[in-house]
Structure 1
């Protein structure tokens, strides 16, 4: 298998953490798209949102995703909203196996509670806002090849579920 594994999911579902572990197990390279955006732009995601808005951020995100997915044998952790654009979803599916990591709104809130680097939740870290965003994105997340609920599981368990899926011939 030389294709990519692309991790999607809401912020705080463990994409970056699971991605690093999975990449090591597969002997693939790991790419965190949000970190790549910060590096390319020379500023935080919060600053990009504040200075130029979500639309600009999504353009940069799509452009970098396209560049990244030209390579193979990598695990790519996408930002929570990367699935909002049809072009991104199409590209992900053409480039490899798309894995959606899911978590309950309560667990997401717990994980994000102290994180100030989440622009879409900066002013309203509450269950209702998380539920609304999850509902808005549900149909996009559902397009994944496999969905894994991360509630009550450690990173290694989640990575093992993905590996098992890949070994079954994803």
Structure 2
């Protein structure tokens, strides 16, 4: 099941109607494609004394085609946490990710290699370039935590 289908099943997708004057402004933005990332990571209840550093346990990305307003490709891998390999009940409840899913996942390095291969495939398929300041694609996340904190810390 795709991430989007699961989100719809859990009533986690919301469609928002945008006023016509905003639609024109949004349509004139410079990007044709947006890679949307939203990592899930190990987590603990705030009172848990055995907390650790957050490790990525799910690495999903969708490629959104702005002009057609739809998702044209999806990537999703579960990732094995290394430092604290056992998920807490809190983490499983919050993320919906099971111990079995991360146990069957791949190491982060492998996941990054698979993601890069997927990215290259999408760039070729859709004619996407990131080599110039005028590229027609960008990355988006909910906040700077995914790329600026979590992935950066894991790659150290």
What TM-score do the two structures reach when normalised by structure 2? 0.29
What TM-score do the two structures reach when normalised by structure 1? 0.27
Which structure is higher in helix share? 1
Q: Which has the higher contact order (CA 8 A, sep 6+)?
A: 1
Which structure is higher in strand share? 2
Between structure 1 and structure 2, the one with the greater Rg is 2
